[in-house]
Structure 1
Amino acid sequence: MKLKKHLFIPFLLLAFFQFTISFSQELKPASLFSDGMVLQRDIPVPVWGTAKPNSKITVTFANQKQKTKADNNGKWMLKLDPLKASKIARDLVISGDSKVIISNILVGEVWICSGQSNMQFNVNNVPEIKSLIPFTKNIRTFQVKNIVSLEEQDDVTGTWKVTNPSSAVAFGFAYFLESIGDVPVGIILSSWGSSSLEAWMPRSMTEELPYFKTIMDDFDKDTATQNRLLEAINSPKGWNIKEDIFMRRQPNVVYNAMMKPLAPYACRGLVWYQGERNTRYISGVPEVTEANWFHKVAGMKEYGDILKLWIQNYRKTWQNDNMHFAVVMLPGYGKGTHASPNIDSKSPTAESWAWMRESQLKVLDLPNTSVTNTIDLGSETNIHPTDKFPIGQRLALSAAKHTLNQNIVAEGPVLDQVEIENNSLIVHFKNSKGLKTNNRKAPEGFWIADESLNWKIADAKIEGETVILENKDVKNPEFIRYAFAGKPDVNLVNGANLPAYPFRTDVDVK
Structure 2
Amino acid sequence: MLKSSILLSAALLAGTLANLQAELRPASLFQSHMVLQRGTQLPVWGDADPGATVTVEFSGQKKSARADAKGKWMLKLDPLPATKQAKTMTFSSKLKTEAEKLELRDVVVGEVWICAGQSNMQFGVKNSPGVKALLPKVKNIRSFTVKRTVAFTEQDRCEGKWVDQYPDSAVALAFAHSLQQHEDVPVGIILTCWGSSSLEAWMPRDMTETVPHFKTMMEEFDANKEAHEQIKAALNAPKGWTKKEDIFLRRQTNILYNAMMHPLAPYACRGLVWYQGERNTQSMFGMLKTPWFSRNSGMLIYGDVLKKWIARYRQEWDNEEMHFLIAMLPGYGKVLPTGPNRDPQSPTAHSWAWMREAQLKALQLDGVSVANTVDLGDMKNVHPKDKLPVGQRLALLAARDVYGKKLEAQGPVMNKVIGSGGRIHVVFDHAEGLKTNDGKSPSAFWIADSNRKWHQAEAKIVGQSVVLQSDQVAEPKFVRYAFAGMPKVNLVNGEGLPAYPFRSDDFQPKLRK
Give TM class, smaller chain: over 0.9
1:317 aligns with 2:319: no
Q: Look up the match of 1:147.
A: 149
Counting matched residue pairs gives: 492
Q: Is contact 1:480–1:506 with CA below 8 Å preserved after alignment?
A: yes
Q: Look up the match of 1:445.
A: 444
Q: Look up the match of 2:430.
A: 431
Aligned pairs (5 A) from 1:127-166: 127-166=129-168
Q: Look up the match of 1:93.
A: 90
Q: Look up the match of 2:106.
A: 104
Cα distance, 1:231 vs structure 2: 1.2
> 1:260-296 CA deviation, whole Å, 9 max, x = no partner?
00000000000000000000111131223xxx11111
> 1:48-74 CA deviation, whole Å, 9 max, x = no partner?
110010100111111111111111111
Aligned pairs (5 A) from 1:81-480: 81-96=78-93, 97-288=99-290, 292-337=291-336, 339=338, 343-480=342-479
Q: Is contact 1:22–1:53 with CA below 8 Å preserved after alignment?
A: no
Report which stretch shifted further, 434-443 or 125-134.
125-134
Among 20, 37, 41, which residue is 2:17 paired with? 20
Distance 1:339 1:88, change over 3 A: same
Q: Look up the match of 1:35.
A: 32
Name stretches of at least 5 consecutive residues in structure 1 with no aligned partner.
1-15
Cα distance, 1:21 vs structure 2: 7.4
SS of the equivalent of 2:191 reads strand
SS of the equivalent of 2:296 reads coil
CA distance in 1: counterparts of 2:19 and 2:460, whole angstroms: 74
Q: Is contact 1:143–1:188 with CA below 8 Å preserved after alignment?
A: yes
What amino acid does structure 1 have at the position aligned with 2:115?
Answer: C
Distance 1:352 1:508, change over 3 A: closer
Cα distance, 1:235 vs structure 2: 1.5
CA distance in 2: counterparts of 1:128 and 1:356, whole angstroms: 26
Cα distance, 1:19 vs structure 2: 8.1
CA distance in 1: counterparts of 2:53 and 2:508, whole angstroms: 63
What amino acid does structure 2 have at the position aligned with 1:259?
Answer: M
Cα distance, 1:342 vs structure 2: 8.1
CA distance in 1: counterparts of 2:451 and 2:40, whole angstroms: 54
SS of the equivalent of 2:208 reads helix
What amino acid does structure 2 have at the position aligned with 1:34?
Answer: Q
Q: Is contact 2:170–2:387 with CA below 8 Å preserved after alignment?
A: yes
What amino acid does structure 2 have at the position aligned with 1:411?
Answer: Q
> 1:149-191 CA deviation, whole Å, 9 max, x = no partner?
0000001100100001100000000001001111110000000
Cα distance, 1:401 vs structure 2: 0.8
Cα distance, 1:24 vs structure 2: 2.2
CA distance in 2: counterparts of 1:427 and 1:83, whole angstroms: 47
Q: Is contact 1:168–1:388 with CA below 8 Å preserved after alignment?
A: yes
CA distance in 2: counterparts of 1:161 and 1:201, whole angstroms: 28
What amino acid does structure 1 have at the position aligned with 2:385?
Answer: T
Q: Is contact 2:37–2:109 with CA below 8 Å preserved after alignment?
A: yes
SS of the equivalent of 1:412 reads coil
Q: Is contact 1:483–1:490 with CA below 8 Å preserved after alignment?
A: yes
CA distance in 2: counterparts of 1:17 and 1:255, whole angstroms: 40
1:62 aligns with 2:62: no
- TM-score using structure 2 length: 0.94
What amino acid does structure 1 have at the position aligned with 2:105?
Answer: S
CA distance in 2: counterparts of 1:186 and 1:152, whole angstroms: 24
> 1:425-452 CA deviation, whole Å, 9 max, x = no partner?
1111110111111011100010000000
Q: Look up the match of 2:487.
A: 488
Distance 1:222 1:20, change over 3 A: farther
CA distance in 2: counterparts of 1:18 and 1:318, whole angstroms: 39
Distance 1:460 1:78, change over 3 A: same
SS of the equivalent of 2:219 reads helix
Name stretches of at least 5 consecutive residues in structure 2 with no aligned partner.
1-12, 94-98
Q: Is contact 1:22–1:52 with CA below 8 Å preserved after alignment?
A: no
- TM-score using structure 1 length: 0.94
What amino acid does structure 2 have at the position aligned with 1:203?
Answer: R
Cα distance, 1:363 vs structure 2: 0.2
CA distance in 2: counterparts of 1:336 and 1:197, whole angstroms: 20
SS of the equivalent of 2:355 reads helix
Cα distance, 1:341 vs structure 2: 12
Cα distance, 1:355 vs structure 2: 0.4
> 1:278-328 CA deviation, whole Å, 9 max, x = no partner?
00111131223xxx1111111101000000000000000000000001010
Q: Is contact 1:28–1:100 with CA below 8 Å preserved after alignment?
A: no
> 1:477-509 CA deviation, whole Å, 9 max, x = no partner?
100000000000000000110000000001257
Q: Is contact 2:198–2:277 with CA below 8 Å preserved after alignment?
A: yes
Q: Look up the match of 1:46.
A: 43
Distance 1:128 1:17, change over 3 A: farther
Cα distance, 1:99 vs structure 2: 0.8
Cα distance, 1:17 vs structure 2: 12
Cα distance, 1:465 vs structure 2: 0.7
Identity among equivalent positions (%) equals 54
> 1:323-376 CA deviation, whole Å, 9 max, x = no partner?
001010000000112656982111000010000000000000000000000000
SS of the equivalent of 2:198 reads coil
Cα distance, 1:454 vs structure 2: 0.3
Q: Is contact 1:328–1:374 with CA below 8 Å preserved after alignment?
A: yes
SS of the equivalent of 2:363 reads helix
